Amino acid sequence: MSTTPGPQHPPRPQHRPPGAPGPAPARPSSVRNAVALIWVGAGLSLLGLVAALAQQGQTRAMVAEELARQGLQASPELIDTTVTLGLVTAVVSGLVVTALWALNAVFCGRGANWSRILATVLGGLYLVSGVLSLTQPTPWFSKALVVATMLVTVGALVLLWTRSSSEWFRAVGARPGPTRYGPAPGPA
């Protein structure tokens, strides 16, 4: 039995409909790595939520200690209210932050320059709040997550603003979109 292939034909040219954009420019490794770091940031944000819930006992003890240090009466009700309010705030803000990390990962990966700018603004705000949170009494694991997230943030932002990334975002933004055809002329 012969497996000799028949005549080889050249591949057919790929035709695009009129007005369709050409192929997207190749995504540079700096953008791929930045997007990967942004996904890591989203994961760290979720881990922070789990840690906040898992460290309730340690947080309760730290709140009682801090209230006593300030000379306030640390009734169990006040401690419970403070810890519950802190946990609700942590969960709500953590879910919002995780969603923002994920949205930035998706849209930066698509070349949306607005997302790169949003990532920069949010990253700057996170770095400031992260430094401030390190001065507060919090469990050590939470502080370690803050430091890790700050490092991931800096890494992602540096990668998003390298020359190759900037050129790629510019090239993707300059690609023409599909031509929009209006209604046919004449009476409707």
- Whether residue 66 lies inside any domain: the answer is yes
Residue 38 lies inside a defined structural domain of this protein: yes
Q: What is the distance between the terminal CA atoms of the chain, rounded to a whole angstrom?
A: 65
Res 8: pLDDT: 72
Residue 114 resides in a domain: yes
Whether 46 maps to a domain, the answer reads: yes
Cβ–Cβ < 8 Å for 104, 159 = no
| Residue 42, φ and ψ in degrees, nearest 5 | -65, -40
What is the per-residue pLDDT for 64?
Answer: 85
Burial 63-89 (b: 16+ CB within 10 A, else e): bbeebeeeeeebeeeebeebbeebbee
User: Does residue 13 lie in a domain region?
Assistant: no
What are the 10-residue block averages of pLDDT along the chain, 188 residues in total? 62 60 83 98 95 87 85 84 90 95 96 96 96 90 95 98 96 73 67
pTM for this structure? 0.76
Any domain includes 53: yes
Q: What is the pLDDT of residue 128?
A: 97
Question: One-letter amino acid identity for 75?
Answer: S
Residue type, 60: R
168 closest CA partner among 60, 28, 34, 47: 28
Which segments within 65-152 are labelled E, that is strand? none
How many domains would you assign to the chain?
1
Contact call for residues 90 and 52 (beta carbons, < 8 A): yes
The pLDDT of residue 82: 85
pLDDT number for residue 120: 97
Say if 128 falls within a structural domain. yes
Confirm whether 184 is domain-assigned.
Answer: no
The confidence score (pLDDT) of residue 179 equals: 57
- Cβ atoms of residues 116 and 103 within 8 Å: no
Kindly report the number of other CB atoms within 10 A of residue 162's CB atom. Answer: 16
Q: In which domain, by residue range, is 116 found?
A: 29-170
